[in-house]
Amino acid sequence: MTMQGLLWDKTADKLSLDEFPVPKASAGEVVIKVAYAGICGTDLHIMNKEYPSGDRLILGHEFSGVITEVGDGVTQFKVGDRVCVDPCFICGSCHHCSSGRVNYCHRGPLQHLRNSVGARRDGGFANFCAVPTGHVHKLHDDVTLLHGALVEPISCIQRGWDNLGTPPSDSRVLVLGAGYIGVMWSCLLHFKGYRDVTISEPAKGRRELAMGMGLGFQAVHPDTIKARFADGNVEDVGYDVIIDCSGSPPAIEQAFNWLRCGATFLQFGCCPTNSKITINPFQIYQKELKIVGCLTNPFTMATTINGLVRGMSESYLSDFSRLGIKMFRLQEYQEAIAQLKKGTISKAMFDLQA
């Protein structure tokens, strides 16, 4: 029995749709029949060779589906369970893992990702995927398979929120980027009660999508924001919180100048591994700025399924088209990637049930 999957060949610098044998469940694994799988910005970074990955593998780490086979020793799952996947693997024995800080696993750079689904081992851009049970999560009855494919990226946002803390509700907030992650951060901020929020996005199509979400937030070109600072004092027109969802070093560097005194900058977007920015350390000292990072989603999958995704599914997540999410068949992968790069959609998702 065979299946289709999107194979990334790093040496050939090529993504292609190929035929593969359907995987079998080894001991401690389950096989998942994939229902929906989303293209992440990390997938694009892998294809641009800006993010570490295996040499030849099926991509895709944001997906949901139904278990079709369980391996020896598996007792917590059964055939027919609806699930989603946490793609990150850890060594389990280093200092950080033993301390519960698994995303810092120090067996080399980014080693918590060394065997990660869709980056180091075959992922969910295929009809079936074999995954160790420690990285599989059952979906709540209230969470559809469609929403299940959003759990992994939203669980990363949950981690970002936890790291950010709870800024005062009257904070002036800037979100950099109106891709899917920027859209979801905007929804979360609205869900949490924030109303003075601006979204910075250079692509006209994505600005229109952000304005069409009905949140009441402004979505403007970065040059519009830059012009405000040419004529105004940063304390009058600046921001208390800036959340980068762009992964664009020039955008990040520019936005540091837009922080008010006592402000926080959350670096959520994934930049190329060798990128650099220049900032003025005196500003950090004088303004008492906080710079906060966010690396993946340690222990936030379960709380996201039962918390944010359940809580937002009938409101913010109810209309995918309003969020700029567009569905594609796996065979349409080239068009899906093209539309993402063009900025006409916020996210592309494969419907493997179509």
Calculate the CA 310 to chain-centre distance: 18
Predicted local confidence at residue 3, as pLDDT: 98
pLDDT interval class at 273 (50, 70, 90)? confident
Q: Indicate if the pLDDT at residue 226 is higher than 80.
A: yes
Q: Of 333 and 97, which is predicted with more confidence? A: 333
pLDDT tens digits, 309-322 = 999 999 999 999 99
317-342 confidence digits (pLDDT tens) = 999 999 999 999 999 999 999 999 99
Of the pLDDT bands very low, low, confident and very high (cuts 50, 70, 90), residue 15 is very high
Mean pLDDT, range 173-185, rounded to an integer: 97
Region 148-166: what's the mean pLDDT? Answer: 97
pLDDT at 302 over 70: yes
Cα distances from 31 to residues 17, 117, 148, 287, 354, in angstroms, run 20, 13, 17, 52, 20
Residue 166: per-residue pLDDT: 95
Specify the pLDDT at position 93: 83
Nearest to 269 by CA among 33, 44, 15, 36: 44
- Average pLDDT, integer, range 259-266: 98
Q: What pLDDT sits at residue 224?
A: 97
Query: Residue 52: exposed, middle, or buried by beta-carbon count in 10 A (0-12, 13-18, 19+)?
Result: middle
Q: For the stretch 169-206, what's the b/e string if a residue is b when 16 or more beta carbons lie within 10 angstroms of its beta carbon?
A: eebbbbbbbbbbbbbbbbbbbbeeebebbbbbbbbebb
pLDDT at 65: 98
pLDDT score recorded for residue 112: 45
Q: State the pLDDT at residue 88.
A: 87
What 3-state DSSP class applies to 98?
A: helix
In whole angstroms, how far apart are CA 201 and each of 211, 234, 267, 295?
11, 20, 16, 23
Residue 278 has pLDDT above 50, yes or no: yes
- The per-residue pLDDT for 114 is 55
| pLDDT average, residue stretch 97-116 | 71
Place 109 in a pLDDT band, splitting at 50, 70 and 90: very low
Query: Tens digits of per-residue pLDDT, 241-257?
Result: 999 999 999 999 999 99
Q: How far is CA 61 from CA 122, 136, 197, 220, 280, in A?
A: 9, 12, 30, 31, 37
In terms of Cα–Cα distance, which of 139, 56, 135, 45 is closest to 90?
135
DSSP state of 121: B
Average confidence score pLDDT of the chain: 94
pTM attached to this predicted model: 0.94
Task: Note the pLDDT of residue 158.
Answer: 98
